[in-house]
Amino acid sequence: MDMRQAKPRELPLITLIYKRAVDDMLSRKIYQWDQIYPNPRFLKKSMEKGELYVFTHKQEVVGAVVLNSEQSEEWALVPWQYSAPVLVIHALVLDPSVQGQGLGSQALDWIERFASENNYLSIRLDLFPENKAAQQLYAHHGYELRGEVAFDIKPPGHQVYHCLEKRI
């Protein structure tokens, strides 16, 4: 698998992959994402800023991620272990049709190489704790729990997210 910056002509496909992933998660009662986030406007803005990347497998776009240093204001009280520069993973997605094939692990390997090559000290993200597959993926790659945050825009009972960090 490879990763590269998204191209404008790929935005409809990327948006569709996110929709499929949201629909799949919601069908399994995983309320990590919804119609509010990640939405097409967020994806388009991220692409315009050069922060939207796609994952390709067998020359097909199978996933995407937004990479930057923007941290949620809710993260301010999290006891992070490492200081800047920090790479933040936003909205890492693989099409449900290719999940379970080890591509998530390959995606994280690529992101970690990207972070290292661009002199980031650590990688941070937040994660909905009911997304067990994602929990396992990040734990397997050595990401450590640093704290929890609550997002009030989420449905009651689904507002708490885990904040993870890994030194590069």
129-139 pLDDT, tens digit each:
989 999 999 99
Task: Check whether 154 has a pLDDT greater than 90.
Answer: no
Q: Is it the case that residue 156 has pLDDT exceeding 90?
A: no
Name the architecture of domain 2-167.
3-Layer(aba) Sandwich (3.40)
User: In the chain, where are the structural domains located?
Assistant: 2-167
At residue 153 the predicted structure's pLDDT band, cuts being 50, 70 and 90, is low
48-92: pLDDT as tens digits: 999 999 999 999 999 999 999 999 999 999 999 998 899 999 999
pLDDT of residue 155: 63
Q: How far is 47 from 69, CA to CA, in rounded Å?
A: 15
13-29 tens-digit pLDDT? 999 999 999 999 999 98
Average pLDDT (94-98) is 96
pLDDT-derived band at 157, boundaries 50, 70, 90: low
Q: What is the pLDDT of residue 5?
A: 96
